[in-house]
Amino acid sequence: MNTEQGAPGGVAVFKASGRIDQNTAEAFQNALLDALAGASQGLVIDMAAVPFISSAGLRSLMVAARKAKADKIPLAIAALTPAVKEVFAISRFTAVIACHDDLATASAKLKG
């Protein structure tokens, strides 16, 4: 699992890549919370390069969603891969964090 951050147009982008599972979820969560702390205009989590997410990864996203809500920071997810999209659908995680097909749409919604 790798992460990368950027902030085009005021909305921060957190790019995750690789598997998010029991072995990587803690590092993912810590990096995500750090990105959230510097994203007062909103944060989009780009999941285009994440082929797999486990329940531990979903827990990390839940922690970030709660923190974002408490801090009133808009949060969205972009570009779920088909396998991860299926996990989100089965777990109804799409009700927790807004999910969009691509980064541009997610960023526009947060600006919006």
Per the structure, the complete domain to which residue 31 belongs is given by 2-111
Q: Specify the number of domains making up the chain.
A: 1
Helices within 19-102 (DSSP H only): 25-37, 55-70, 82-91
Which CATH number do you get for residue 52? 3.30.750.24
Instruction: Give me the amino acid identity at 24.
Output: T
Task: Give the span between the Cα atoms of 106 and 89, in whole angstroms.
Answer: 18
Instruction: State residue 55's pLDDT score.
Output: 96
**pLDDT of 24-79, one tens digit each?**
999 999 999 999 988 888 999 999 999 999 999 999 999 999 999 999 999 999 99
pLDDT of 80-112, one tens digit each? 999 999 999 999 999 999 999 999 999 899 887
Residue carrying the six token digits 């990368």:
4
Tokens 């969603």 correspond to 65
b/e map 2-26, b = 16+ CB within 10 Å: ebeeebeeebbbbbbeebbeeebbe
The structure's pTM equals 0.91
Amino acid at 47: M
